[in-house]
Structure 1
Amino acid sequence: MNTQMSSNFSAPTYARLREQIRSDVVSGIWKLGQHMTLAELCAHYGVSANPVREALHQLQGEGVVEMRLNRGAVVRQVDAAFVKNVYDVRGAIEGMLAAEAARRATKDDIVRITGFVEAYEQAVATGDIDRIVQANRALHRAITRIADNPLALEIFDGRSSLIDALRRTLGNRPGRLEEIIVEHREILDAIASGDAERAFKSAQQHTAHARDHMLDNIKEAAGTTA
């Protein structure tokens, strides 16, 4: 089944294609560790080879895929070491972003991120995995925008896609999504109160809990397949 790329005419074809492939990794269309041939990608997205090659080169730079000479690319496989490294760095950066957001946030900003927190809670209530992933990423992106640090978003977009794809594969243990709701509310309250120190600690704890949960899931999955 072909994927129709969104018609964002302000971006070149390869940039739109890069975003679409990344999104399709998250949604599970392309699996972690899967080999994608150039011909397969051209047919799937209805584009020529040149933008596919450029999109793959950019995704390789983000760490999402590994290129294969004249044979397309392989979606990067994710292991426990990768997850730990990403979350350790992410915790430091997200703590910094939350603290800066607490210093900068306007009333309109608070209203906006409150809406994203509520959207996540509504998604959890429906059990819709796509909505849960999208709402979570939208919330974290909103905090990054308030902190006015687009570089942080650029650094983590690709690697976060791989983490989201793994989370979709492994699932969440019972009660984890409800814990995330509480953690989101704590971060929101700290930012709304202008308490940069509490926002920093809350965001770091949120990331550490996510890391530990993911590592536990990886161990459990390895045990069931051993």
Structure 2
Amino acid sequence: MTLSDASLGVVGIVDAVTRRLRVQILAGDIAAGTALTEAKVSEMFGVARPSAKAAIEQLVASGLVVRTAHRSARVVAIDAAMVRDVYRTRTRLESAALRELAAMQRVPVDAAAANAEILAMPQGPDPTTVDPDLRFHTALIDAVDSERTSRMYRSVLDEVRLCMAQVQGRRLLDAQAISAQHAEILDAVAAGDGDHAAALLAAHLGSAEERLVEALGE
């Protein structure tokens, strides 16, 4: 079945194209700054231009693609300003979630499970930590049981994943160090110390932020 197969329907085609482009962008197969025109995407996946346009717009909405002054769409290029804004947005949302969880001394099961996966990985930096790492942080948000907070967090997830992939793609953070920092955060939540949990989170995310900004400068 091709993406243009009528059985998929227009919405199915658009979602399928969006998913494939997203995977290629996050994997670095489509480089930062690459132009994504309707004609190019249409040719890549054998779909109609309106479907290609709709897929591009979904990627613009997720922050993976930007439109320039001349309205051409290009894959977003990570710079220091973007990294700082993404990480500080995460810190604001996750810190608030940690304080709520600590008040209830609720340690999210999914967060602990994701961290156990990281702990079981070989020592040293490894790009495969991105998925369980992201699941750990997302579990903190979801444990607050707020549909809108979760939706707000997910609105920046593609940009978060793009930054995290750059951090671990450059092998800047050790898996064991990540796991140890996560464990400290969960311990603080279990002890009911929301301020300490938030401080540990700020240090944890701040370290990744600074290392990536430094690497981008180099």
TM-score after normalising by structure 2: 0.78
Deviation (angstroms), 1:167:
2.6
Deviation for aligned residue 1:93: 1.9
Deviations 1:40-79 (A, max 9, x none): 4334445433333112112212322124799963101111
Aligned partner of 1:196 in structure 2 is 194
Distance 1:121 1:201 in 2: 22
Query: Secondary structure, in 3 states, of the residue corresponding to 1:102?
Result: helix
Distance 1:62 1:111, change over 3 A: closer
Residue of structure 2 equivalent to 1:182: 180
Give the corresponding residue for 1:90.
Answer: 90
Q: Once the two structures are superposed, what CA deviation does each residue of 1:130-176 show, in whole Å capped at 9, x if it has no partner?
A: x311111111111111123213323321321331343355x133x64
Task: Provide the alpha-carbon RMSD of the alignment.
Answer: 3.2
| SS of corresponding position for 2:198 | helix
SS of the residue corresponding to residue 74 of structure 2 reads: strand
TM-score (norm 1): 0.75
Q: Which amino acid aligns with 1:60?
A: V
Distance 1:23 1:38 in 2: 18
Identity %: 22
Correspondence for 1:33: 33
Match of 1:116 among 114, 117, 125: 114
- Partner residue of 1:137 out of 114, 134, 138: 134
SS at match of 1:208: helix
CA distance in 2, matches of 1:78, 1:156: 14
Verify: 1:55 aligned to 2:55, yes or no.
Answer: yes
- Deviation string 1:197-224 (CA, Å, 9 cap, x unpaired) is 22222212211111111112122x3xxx
Query: Unaligned 5+ residue runs, structure 1?
Result: 222-226
Moved more, 203-212 or 190-199: 190-199
Which whole-Å CA distance do the structure 1 matches of 2:91 and 2:71 have between them?
36
Q: Report the CA distance shift for 1:128/1:168 in structure 2 as closer, same or farther (over 3 A).
A: closer
Does 74-83 or 55-64 show the bigger shift? 55-64
Name the structure, 1 or 2, with higher relative contact order (CA <8 Å, separation 6+). Answer: 1
CA, structure 1 residues 30+214, in 2 after alignment: closer, same or farther (shift >3 Å)? same
- More moved, 51-60 vs 131-140: 51-60
- Per-residue CA shift, 1:25-47, capped at 9, x if unaligned? 22112222222343443344454
Answer yes or no: is 1:164 the counterpart of 2:164.
Answer: yes
Name 1:42's counterpart in structure 2.
42
Structure 2 residue ranges without an equivalent (≥5) = none
Q: Secondary structure at the match of 1:74?
A: strand
Conservation of the 8 A alpha-carbon contact between 2:167 and 2:208: no
